[in-house]
Amino acid sequence: MKKTITDYNYNGKKVIIRCDLNVPIENGIITDDTRIKESLKSIKYLIDNNAKTIILSHLGKIKTQEDKSENTLYPVYIKLREYLNTNVYFSRETRGESLEELVNNLKEKDVLLVENTRFEDFPDKLESNCDEKLSKYWASLGDIFINDAYGTCHRAHASNVGIAKNLPNGIGFLVEKEITKLDEILNEDTHPYTVVMGGKKVSDKTLMIDNLITKCDYLLLGGGMCFTFLKSQNYNVGKSIVDNDNLIYCKNLMNKYRDKIILPVDIVTNNKNIREISSISDNESGFDIGPQTIELFTDILKKSKRVIINGPMGVFEEEGFSNGTKKIYEIIKEKHIKTLIGGGDSAASVNKLGFANDFFHISTGGGATLEYLSGTILPGIAVIEEK
């Protein structure tokens, strides 16, 4: 068991908490503040326990000087002031005298949000490369470190792994909830156990299958995930998404696990035709699973005792291509199947299609959840002390 936020006494202590405040911002306006709201539980716990709270987070990616003005956490600071009933300060610097002065002036229950940790990525990638000097410097600002940024736990960056190596540490409420739910469903010995994969980050996801497939009874492939497999079986997939680098890998998987891997038998194309998979033409792309596939997948889901879903079954954002994704969620709801869903877009699809309360757990992390599911020990969690 990892140490958690409730394992320390915070009276008057400077606590660095790594949150995931990576919210979508358009023209300076936050368009969805879910991640801020989800981070409040741990932040408020620290405030209630008289800590001096220093919040670190990344926002987007910083590759050029210009990226900095578009990825400032300042709008998040304004939001935090709305949500937190205490003094909230903002440091425009990610290191140096002005930051240190703000830290040293903090009183109990005060909160300081520090500018985007990835500002340290330009020009030298110090944050993303877990630079030792930067990690030690950030750690020197606090007494205790809490990691509550689940979405970046699969990365070893200075602001999570680097600081944790240099301070007493624990995980926050969000990370604790995520791994408890994931462990519960992964370690349960109920079968059939079915994994459903879709979405479009095909190369990342394909390579995770190796480990997942050994544990599950069925792997249902839809969305953009199925076409590399179909092509490896010599079907013409037209202009659908294909990961040509992994064709042989997929072919080998098909040979080895032909009984477990279930591919679509028909699809809905970009021009809204329903095609058997043997009759997709050169200039068509598959954008959703077809009615016979829905039936096939539904039959397997109906008898499944636990299900993990990663990635939507089609381009659900457009009405004409949301049916497959919706029908899969309907059967899960109707049959009360214990289902964990992970991935940023998957979570969005559940909300958009009206199934937000029908799952055992909706994981907030995309890459982190997928790596956890595939058996990787996440560095951001591995670095935390055991109880």
238 binds ligand ADP (CB under 6 A): no
Nearest-angstrom CA–CA distance, 171 and 183 = 15
Per-residue DSSP letters for 204-270?
HHHTTHHHHHHH-SEEEE-GGGHHHHHHHTT---TTS---GGGHHHHHHHHHH-TTTEE--SEEEET
Select from ligand ADP, Mg ion, none the partner in contact with residue 82, using the beta carbon and a kind-dependent cut-off of 5 to 8 Å.
Answer: none
Tokens (6 digits) for 28: 């300076």
The interface partner of residue 315, options being Mg ion, ligand ADP, none and the CB cut-off 5 to 8 Å by kind, is ligand ADP
35 tagged catalytic? yes
367 is catalytic: yes
β-strands 52-56, 14-18: how paired? parallel
List the one residue from 224, 238, 365, 379 that touches ligand ADP (CB under 6 A): 224
Part of the chain binding ligand ADP (CB under 6 A), chosen from 43-51, 117-125, 193-201, 291-299 = 193-201
Q: Which residues of 271-300 are buried (b: 16+ CB within 10 A; e: fewer)?
A: eeeebebeebeeebbbbbbbeebbebbbeb
CB of 346: closest distance to Mg ion in angstroms?
8
Query: Which of these is catalytic: 18, 35, 306, 327?
Result: 35
Catalytic residue among 2, 18, 79, 201: 201
The 46-85 site mask, x for binding Mg ion (CB under 5 A), equals ----------------------------------------
Q: Is 377 exposed, middle or buried (0-12, 13-18, 19+ CB in 10 A)?
A: exposed
Q: Does 310 bind ligand ADP (CB under 6 A)?
A: yes
Known active-site residue 365: no
Q: Is residue 81 annotated as a catalytic residue, yes or no? A: no
Tell me which of 76, 241, 253, 378 binds ligand ADP, using CB under 6 A.
241
Which residue's CB is nearer to Mg ion, number 6 or number 351?
Answer: 351
Q: What is the dihedral of CA 20, 21, 23, 25, to 10 degrees?
A: -150
CB-based contacts of 225: which residues, under 8 Å, 6+ apart? 197, 198, 199, 202, 205, 206, 311
Question: Which residue among 142, 290, 314, 379 contacts ligand ADP (CB under 6 A)?
Answer: 314
Give the range of 19-27, 126-134, 154-162, 192-200 binding ligand ADP by CB under 6 A: 192-200
Shortest approach of ligand ADP to residue 287 CB, angstroms? 5
Let me know: does 124 contact 154? Beta carbons within 8 Å.
no
Q: Which of 13, 52, 201, 231 binds ligand ADP (CB under 6 A)?
A: 201
Amino acid at 14: K
Taking the C-alpha atoms of residue 357 and residue 322, their distance in angstroms, rounded to an integer, is 19
Helix (H, G, I), strand (E, B) or coil at 116: coil
Q: Which of the listed partners (Mg ion, ligand ADP, none) does 290 bind, with a CB threshold of 5 to 8 Å by partner kind?
A: none
Distance CA 9, CA 11 (A): 6
Of residues 339-378, those binding Mg ion (CB under 5 A): 344-345
- The one-letter amino acid at 125: K
Footprint on this chain of Mg ion (rule: CB under 5 A) = 344-345
Catalytic residues, which ones? 35, 201, 344, 367
Footprint on this chain of ligand ADP (rule: CB under 6 A) = 198-201, 223-224, 241, 286-287, 310-312, 314-317, 343-346, 366
